[in-house]
Amino acid sequence: MNNSLPKSDNGSVKSFRKELWFEVPGRRAFLNITREVEDCLRESGVKEGLVLINAMHITASVFINDDEPGLHADYEKWLERLAPHEPASQYRHNRTGEDNADAHMKRQVMGREVVVAVTGGKLDFGPWEQIFYGEFDGGRKKRALIKIIGE
């Protein structure tokens, strides 16, 4: 089986990798990272391809949705109902000395990564779509990976 990418007419497929670092002071936050991803896409020179953006920590998420504060407040309330932080003793994971079992569950619901098509050198979004980094156990440095492949 051939696992290599097909070559374009000029014989090259580009690959670009960059990490975005975050340090959210509070426990939770939703950060719009669309502009940073667009900057990486420009830097990559890829005009046709795919962008993968994934959280590299198991208590954070990357997702696509609308950049609307009411929606973000609704997410916060909904996620806290699904996996409340308190009482921390309700989670077996927290018996290891951690207090972030709820953050692992919130990440599971919101997802690890997104993939976005690149067309004509631009992110090929639907209406209102934006890329977000979701933090569920902040207070320390964490990162997201951007990987761009195409021509």
Q: Which secondary structure element, helix H or strand E, spans residue 116, and what is its range?
A: strand 113-119
pTM (two decimals): 0.90
The pLDDT value given to residue 46: 98
Per-residue confidence in pLDDT tens, the chain, 151 aa: 444 444 555 668 999 999 999 999 999 999 999 999 999 999 999 999 999 999 999 999 999 999 999 999 999 999 999 999 999 999 999 999 999 999 999 999 999 999 999 999 999 999 999 999 999 999 999 999 999 999 9
Q: What is the CATH T-level fold of the domain 14-150, as seen in this structure?
A: Jelly Rolls (2.60.120)
Domain boundaries along the sequence of the chain: 14-150
